[in-house]
């Protein structure tokens, strides 16, 4: 792809520079298996990974798997996650999600996009994170950081998730999608912040059309 498409070449150069800063990017959420990743990612909407990581150890200790969580009272789950934003709605979704995984998927998180997106509280981004990081299935998840960074880099006219996803996946080999997702997230948190991007110290300055203009 890079040989015939200058934008694909520029994307590879950008990822190479980000790897120099972050050679082994790791997910920000703590998890041991696809189920824990699914729950943590669902909780992370409009919430920091650090906050989710403070809550999930107690949640998983009390409800180790989908069957236990499916049998929980929503009010009890609310109590466990009350420090997380939108905790009431998320508690309802978690119990419904657990019931579907336990009842329709034998207690095993499905490695299928359509099945994942059919679960309560699971959208395309959450499904992509679980597929890419939990199962190694090629997927490029777009959250607010990824969307912002990719739009500023000129790969999409605006930070609309599906638009950004289509643009990046058309330029990049599927084997690099999950890594690119993590590199862009970390860059967005570390350097390309929403309100005050640190363009002066950004490793992508020469490759970014928005450098010094935000």
Active site residues per annotation: 125, 143
Euclidean distance between CA atoms 121 and 114, whole angstroms? 13
Euclidean distance between CA atoms 19 and 8, whole angstroms? 16
Q: Give me the phi and psi of 156, to 5 degrees please.
A: -150, 150
Euclidean distance between CA atoms 99 and 120, whole angstroms? 10
């Amino acid at each position: 792809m890079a040989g015939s498409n200058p934008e694909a070449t520029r994307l590879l150069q950008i990822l190479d520079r980000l790897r120099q800063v972050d050679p082994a990017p790791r997910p920000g959420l703590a998890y041991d298996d696809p189920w824990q990743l699914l729950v943590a990612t669902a909780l992370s909407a409009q919430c920091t990974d650090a906050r989710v990581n403070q809550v999930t150890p107690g949640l998983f200790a009390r409800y180790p798997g989908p069957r236990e969580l499916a049998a929980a009272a929503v009010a009890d789950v609310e109590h466990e996650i009350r420090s997380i934003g939108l905790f009431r709605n998320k508690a309802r979704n978690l119990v419904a999600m657990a019931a579907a995984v336990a009842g329709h998927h034998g207690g095993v998180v499905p490695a299928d996009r359509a099945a994942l997106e059919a679960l309560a509280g699971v959208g395309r981004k959450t499904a992509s994170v679980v597929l890419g990081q939990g199962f190694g299935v090629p997927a490029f998840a777009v959250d607010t950081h990824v969307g912002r960074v990719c739009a500023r880099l000129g790969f999409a006219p605006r930070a609309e998730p599906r638009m950004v996803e289509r643009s990046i996946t058309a330029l990049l080999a599927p084997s690099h999608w999950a890594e690119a997702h993590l590199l862009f997230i970390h860059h967005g948190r570390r350097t390309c912040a929403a309100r005050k991007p640190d363009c002066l110290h950004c490793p992508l300055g020469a490759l970014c059309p928005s450098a010094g203009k935000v």
